[in-house]
Amino acid sequence: MKFATGLLVVIVLFLLAGVVPVPGGDAGIIFKTPVFMLLVATECVLLLAAAVRQLRAMRLALALAHGGVVVLLLGALLGYLFSKDAEFSVPVGGAQGITQIPATATGVVYTLPFSVRVSDFRVESVPAGAGHATA
């Protein structure tokens, strides 16, 4: 149990390091390293073992809690493996919507089952020091 808790602390430190802004770089790249993936996989195995122990001890709530964390981590892994990254620009007031976008890294063109169009775009600025209250 101490090992699993220590491992979780290390994973949280990785997560914190991945969200700190880095000038001119991608701080989130830390999540794609083999070390991070190995740490998370090890934690999943330990959580599954804990869930099985809790089930055998008839502690259903604890087993569900441990299993729930594993489900969340597996969902994050599936999102990482099958996500599609793309950036595109849309002209304001264009007559035709965009239905295809190129992927940023791979160059593959994705066809959308809908179209994207910007009909109006406004920029509003608030003078420095002026408070903006909402009700």
Alpha-carbon distances, residue 113 vs 5, 43, 96, 100, 135 (angstroms) = 44, 38, 15, 9, 38
Query: Residue 4: its pLDDT value, please?
Result: 83
Q: Over the stretch 42-57, which tens digit does the pLDDT of each residue have? A: 988 998 998 999 989 8
Query: Residue 128: its pLDDT value, please?
Result: 73
Confidence of residue 73 (pLDDT cuts 50, 70, 90): confident
Q: What average pLDDT does the chain have?
A: 80
Q: What is the DSSP letter of 100?
A: E
What is the rounded distance in angstroms from the CA atom of residue 110 to the CA atom of residue 118? 19
Query: Residue 75: its pLDDT value, please?
Result: 85
Confidence of residue 64 (pLDDT cuts 50, 70, 90): very high
- The string over 81-100, giving b where at least 16 C-beta atoms fall within 10 Å of a residue's C-beta and e elsewhere, is eeeeeeeeeeeeeeeeebee
Q: Over the stretch 93-120, which tens digit does the pLDDT of each residue have? A: 766 777 787 776 677 788 888 888 888 8
93: left (phi over 0), alpha (psi -120 to 50) or beta: left
Of the candidate ranges 4-18, 45-59, 86-100, the one whose mean pLDDT is the lowest: 86-100
Which pairing describes strands 109-116 and 98-102: parallel, antiparallel, or unpaired? Answer: antiparallel
Considering only residues 123 and 129, tell me which one the structure prediction assigns the higher pLDDT: 123
Alpha-carbon distances, residue 60 vs 55, 63, 67, 112 (angstroms) = 6, 5, 10, 43
Considering only residues 17 and 56, tell me which one the structure prediction assigns the higher pLDDT: 56
The domain ranges of the chain are 2-82, 86-121
Would you call 64 helix, strand, or coil by DSSP? helix
